[in-house]
C-alpha cells in the first residue's frame, strides 16, 4: 500500500499524533515537499501508483483521477470537496471523504489574530513605521 500526503501541516519531522498513527498504518508514505498546493502535472507522477491520498489544497481534476488506476480513496484534509472532481472520482470508483473540524483550532486562532490585528491597526501602523512616518 502507498499513500500520498500533501497537506503542508502533515509533513515528516513534525511530531504529530495523526502523522505517527498514519506511519504505523502505512510505512510507504509519499509527501509533498514543495510547501504549496500541487498542480496536475506535479500530482500525477506522485499519485499514479498510490492506493490512498490525503489531500491538502491541491486541485484534483478528472485528468489526475483518470491517470491513477490504483487510487481507491481520497481524504480531503479539512471541510469541503470543492477541489475534487466528484464526478470523475465516481466514474473511477474512488471514495472521497473529508475531515470537518480537523483544522478548526487553527482557523479559530487565525481569526482571533486577525481581529486583534484589525482592532489595533497593526498593518497600517507597520506600514507607516517602515516608511519612516
Burial of 83 (0-12, 13-18, 19+ CB in 10 A): middle
**pLDDT tens digits for range 46-94:** 999 999 999 989 999 999 999 999 999 999 987 888 899 999 999 999 9
The whole-angstrom separation of Cα 97 and Cα 2 is 18
Mean pLDDT over residues 106-117, rounded?
93
DSSP code for 56: -
Q: Look at residue 85 in the predicted model and tell me its pLDDT.
A: 96
Please say if the pLDDT value at position 103 is more than 80. no
- pLDDT score for 9: 78
CA 36 to chain centre: 9
Q: Supply the pLDDT for residue 30.
A: 92
- What global pTM score does this model have? 0.76
What is the percentage of the chain residues whose pLDDT exceeds 70? 100
All cell numbers assigned to 47: 499519485
Report, in angstroms and rounded to the nearest whole number, the Rg of the chain calculated over CA atoms: 18
- Judged on CB neighbours under 10 Å (0-12, 13-18, 19+), 74 is buried
Amino acid at each position: 500500500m502507498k499513500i500520498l500526503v500533501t497537506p503542508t501541516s502533515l509533513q515528516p519531522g513534525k511530531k504529530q499524533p495523526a502523522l505517527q498513527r498514519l506511519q504505523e498504518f502505512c510505512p510507504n508514505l509519499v509527501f509533498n515537499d514543495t510547501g504549496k498546493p500541487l498542480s496536475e502535472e506535479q500530482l500525477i507522477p506522485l499519485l499514479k501508483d498510490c492506493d490512498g491520498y490525503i489531500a491538502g489544497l491541491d486541485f484534483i481534476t478528472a485528468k489526475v483521477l483518470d491517470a491513477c488506476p490504483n487510487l481507491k480513496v481520497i481524504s480531503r484534509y479539512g471541510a469541503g470537496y470543492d477541489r475534487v472532481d466528484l464526478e470523475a472520482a465516481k466514474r473511477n470508483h474512488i471514495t472521497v471523504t473529508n475531515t470537518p473540524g480537523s483544522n478548526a483550532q487553527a482557523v479559530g486562532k487565525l481569526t482571533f489574530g486577525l481581529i486583534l490585528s484589525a482592532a489595533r491597526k497593526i498593518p497600517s501602523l507597520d506600514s507607516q513605521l517602515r516608511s519612516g512616518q
